[in-house]
Structure 1
Amino acid sequence: MQGFSREPGTHGPVDQVPPEGLRKIYRWAALIAVGGFLFGYDTGVVSGALLFITRDFRLSAAEQGTIVSVLLVGAMVGALLAGRLADAIGRRKAVALEGAVFIVGTAIAATAPTYWQLLAGRVLLGLAVGAASATVPVYLSEISPTAIRGRVLSANQLMITVGILVSYLIDLAFSGSGDWRLMFALGAVPASVLTLCALLVLPESLPWLVRKGRWTQAHEVLALVLPKDEAERVATGLRHRDGGHAPRPGWRTLLGPKVRPALIVGVTMAVIQQFGGINTIIYYAPTIIEKTGLSASNSIFYSVFIGVINLVMTIVATRLIDRAGRRTLLLVSLAGMAVLVGLLGLSFIAGWNSELSLLCMILYIAAYAGGLGPIFWVLVGEVFPPSVRALGSSTATTTNWICNFAVSQAFLPLAAAIGQGETFLVFAAICLCGLLFVARFVPETKDRSFEEVDAALQARFGRSGPAGDDTGRRARDRSRI
């Protein structure tokens, strides 16, 4: 928890959490990251199910597209509402409610007798996906000691990739029977696990309890991971520092000069993650595979292959993120993505060997999964002040979903207008712009408290940290490295 990391002004900050406490934090992270699994599962399962839904409901091309895209629309709304919800009722109850919406949406989709009821189920699933994608990184950030925060926050993206891979495997397993209802229905299992764990197992976020002035509960949460005397000391220090009930922040707070650098970083990284072309590369993967003449031309089977690459490289990123740092992985990832998607575009334009196109595509996916993919979600949980973390995460996540929808709708018309290869060159240019943005404006957040991250952010945006704050000056010096 942020209360477990070094925070200026805390009376006797906790430098280390005992091993038993760390094990509990890892267990909580694994349970809450089931929300990430559902994000991946419900966005991925439709790719195989749609083949059989189209047959049963005799869908037109437009109706097929709506079944897929309506989840993105729901996710935009869910992400937008999630910040206010998590601030109002707490992170734990918000996640439990999101799990319940997953269950209801799954039930409606799996039993839908008509196209319109299936659409309603997909809208509810979208609301839950969007809300969970905004809430889970906030909770993970707020239960994480500084030294392991990167690994804990990476659990979200790791479980997203696991969810996608499992959805592809489920699609493959039921492709023979064509039972798309069961493909959807199995999502109720992790949704039930998430809801029950949020209600019965997970503690509330310590920073949220502190801001609400719930000191008895805050002490109980500290006692779960710290020895009794240490928990009492930290709880007393937090109470002396933070005093009473904090007012609920509004949207205007995000635009204030103090928070604006974090907002710019969160929103810009959301845009770069989507407009870098990852979803459209995956969309074109079966076409590229088909040109190579490989036997893996079946789209569902090939999706499994893509899912494995995505998962393996996300695991690599999770192992490296608290060692190499966020900034280093981002720079390497964006540089690799720019080069590889540029080469992919040239291969289409020049008609190069199709095996080279396939190699570029696979390496591009690996570069994305090893850096930009997971680190966006890590930064969302790290750069915003604790008082507006849920609201900031909600804003950045909503931007991510809006861009996801925009890219999915614009790609085919753009490719038809200027050519497939030229469109990939546009993605390369966006990745290059992202590389320059990270180099100039995104500080390293590894092993830093929020105060240090904030001071580094302010320095990169040409602003001074708090007057007389030696920690801020040290962070600004380090941010220039």
Structure 2
Amino acid sequence: MTNADTPTASSNGFHTVRVIHLATVAAIGGFLFGFDTAVINGAVTAMQSDFGMGGTLTGFVVSSALLGCMVGAYLAGRLADRIGRVRVMLLAAVMFTVSAIGSGLAFGPVDMIVWRVVGGLGVGAASVIAPAYIAEISPAEIRGRMGSLQQLAIVTGIFVALLSDFAIAGAAGGSGQVLGLGLEAWRWMFLTEVVAALAYGTLAATIPESPRYLVRIGQEGQARTVLSTILRTGVDTRIREIKRTITQEARASFADLKKPGGGLLPIVWIGIALSVFQQFVGINVIFYYSSLLWQSVGFTEEDALLQTVITSVTNIVVTLVAIALVDKIGRRLLLLIGSAGMTVSLGVMAVVFSQARIVDGAPDLTDSAGLTALVAANSFVVFFGATWGPVVWVLLGEMFNNTIRGTALGLAAAAQWLANFAVSTSFPDMADIGLWFAYGFYTLCAFLSLIFVVKFVPETKGVELEDMA
């Protein structure tokens, strides 16, 4: 193994298997991110009945996790700059474990909210630390593909949560039936997360700290050792590049995100806007409220659940497409394709529902209109899953310079969770006006995202992190 000063741009310049190993361990946080946010779908009906909750309280129990996500994301970036990336992963694993056990054994809605918020803190932390760590250990040539593992892990976590909910409920004969140890099936849905959380914590303890963080705190020798396991050549050159952008005394704060004359740096605003647009196109409406859509086009409740699982599988497949393309055609082009495709597919859904008859307060679609809505909804998932889903996480992990990365990523991720909360909680009221109105709003946001990318989003393909503005 050599420490030659001239790095090569070829794949021979780094240990691919080692990079994939480190990125995969970090991305397990994304798996728990997806699992934790989706697992409540199968439990909510039985939990509502057991706790005697009304609709409003049930909605808050479900959405309270998103508030925890926002706080966790807001704080995780700064915490990662102070105690390191790996320690934040371990802290997130602890919060996932505590939340899973607490939720599975909850006595009522009050403590369930507490456990959901704790889990949300872990999700928020994982949503920041995984893309940051992956970007910092990945060579520029494959950084996009490695960064996309975060989204692949998220959608896989969603799929596994939905599948495990379905299997546990089936084994018990219903989510409200006792399955084992005197606990109802819905409680076991939460408890299954303990296995993944413990695996995440155990594996995170085996990976090295980010070399950029190590240089930042003055442990240059350790940083060189870590880089030597990743790079075949150019370790000394990379250390000098990192030192060029990081001073040992510098410690990021929110003041670093501001321009000299006041206001946030333009690149920070771009990160926030990317996060908000990713949510304002309404992707989580498809996952959180999909049964309403499918039943409105004639599906039974059982078929609607099956369609949700199929949609989650589709999301996994198209994320693999993004992994194959992101380092070949670049981030901007993928976002542009996604924005255009989402605008058309969402627009079709808005038009279809605007023409639907209203029967007993719900849209009644003809067979042809229902099929059109079904195809349009799945097309939307395809365009999102292959572009904006993974690419935004890639960009957030790499677009900020070394000095502000953790803090800026935390702020952008917090904005994403706040936008998620806003979209998720506003959809029922928008749907009361009409599904055409809700999907019309998402269509407008998708179109605005296209204009935003054209005007403001930089291409980061192949650019080393040390060269980010």
Do both share a fold (TM > 0.5)? yes
Q: Deviations over 1:131-152 (max 9, x none)?
A: 1101111001001100000000
In the TM superposition, what is the alpha-carbon distance from 1:301 to its structure 2 partner? Answer: 2.4
Q: What amino acid maps onto 2:347 in structure 1? A: G
Q: What amino acid maps onto 2:330 in structure 1? A: G
Q: Whole-Å Cα distance in 2 between the matches of residues 387 and 143 of structure 1? A: 16
Q: Equivalent residue for 2:229?
A: 224
Q: Whole-Å Cα distance in 2 between the matches of residues 39 and 236 of structure 1? A: 32
Q: Equivalent residue for 1:438?
A: 453
1:383 to 391, 399, 402: 399
2:408 to 392, 401, 407: 392
TM-score normalised by structure 1 residue count: 0.87
In the TM superposition, what is the alpha-carbon distance from 1:244 to its structure 2 partner? Answer: 5.7
Q: Equivalent residue for 2:463?
A: 448
2:167 to 141, 160, 173: 173
Q: Equivalent residue for 2:155?
A: 161
Q: Whole-Å Cα distance in 1 between the matches of residues 238 and 298 of structure 2? A: 64
Q: What amino acid maps onto 2:435 in structure 1? A: Q
Q: Equivalent residue for 2:254?
A: 251
Does the C-alpha gap of structure 1 residues 239 and 273 become closer, same or farther in structure 2, counting only changes over 3 Å? Answer: closer
Q: Deviations over 1:459-479 (max 9, x none)?
A: xxxxxxxxxxxxxxxxxxxxx
1:393-412 matches, within 5 Å, as 393-412=409-428
Instruction: Show structure 1 runs of 5+ residues with no match.
Output: 5-9, 455-481
Check the 8 A contact 1:17/1:226 in 2, yes or no. no
Q: Whole-Å Cα distance in 2 between the matches of residues 101 and 326 of structure 1? A: 33
2:56 is the alignment partner of 1:62? yes
2:145 is the alignment partner of 1:140? no
Does the C-alpha gap of structure 1 residues 243 and 114 become closer, same or farther in structure 2, counting only changes over 3 Å? Answer: closer
2:337 is the alignment partner of 1:322? no
TM-score normalised by structure 2 residue count: 0.89
Q: Deviations over 1:65-108 (max 9, x none)?
A: 12211100111111111011100100011111111111111111
2:192 to 186, 206, 224: 186
Does the C-alpha gap of structure 1 residues 149 and 116 become closer, same or farther in structure 2, counting only changes over 3 Å? Answer: same
Check the 8 A contact 1:344/1:424 in 2, yes or no. yes
Does the C-alpha gap of structure 1 residues 243 and 423 become closer, same or farther in structure 2, counting only changes over 3 Å? Answer: closer
In the TM superposition, what is the alpha-carbon distance from 1:295 to its structure 2 partner? Answer: 5.7
2:196 is the alignment partner of 1:196? no
1:34-113 matches, within 5 Å, as 34-113=28-107
2:360 is the alignment partner of 1:354? no
Does the C-alpha gap of structure 1 residues 144 and 171 become closer, same or farther in structure 2, counting only changes over 3 Å? Answer: same
Check the 8 A contact 1:74/1:130 in 2, yes or no. yes
What is the identity percentage for the equivalent residue pairs of Structure 1 and Structure 2?
Answer: 36
Check the 8 A contact 2:99/2:118 in 1, yes or no. yes
Secondary structure of 1:203's aligned partner:
coil
Where relative contact order (Cα < 8 A, 6+ residues apart) is larger, the structure is 2
Check the 8 A contact 1:75/1:127 in 2, yes or no. yes
Q: Whole-Å Cα distance in 2 between the matches of residues 83 and 185 of structure 1? A: 28
Q: Equivalent residue for 1:335?
A: 340
Q: Deviations over 1:399-455 (max 9, x none)?
A: 000011111122222332x4220221111111111100101111221112236553x
Secondary structure of 1:381's aligned partner:
helix
Q: What amino acid maps onto 1:210 in structure 2? A: V
Does the C-alpha gap of structure 1 residues 296 and 437 become closer, same or farther in structure 2, counting only changes over 3 Å? Answer: same
- The total of aligned residue pairs comes to 442
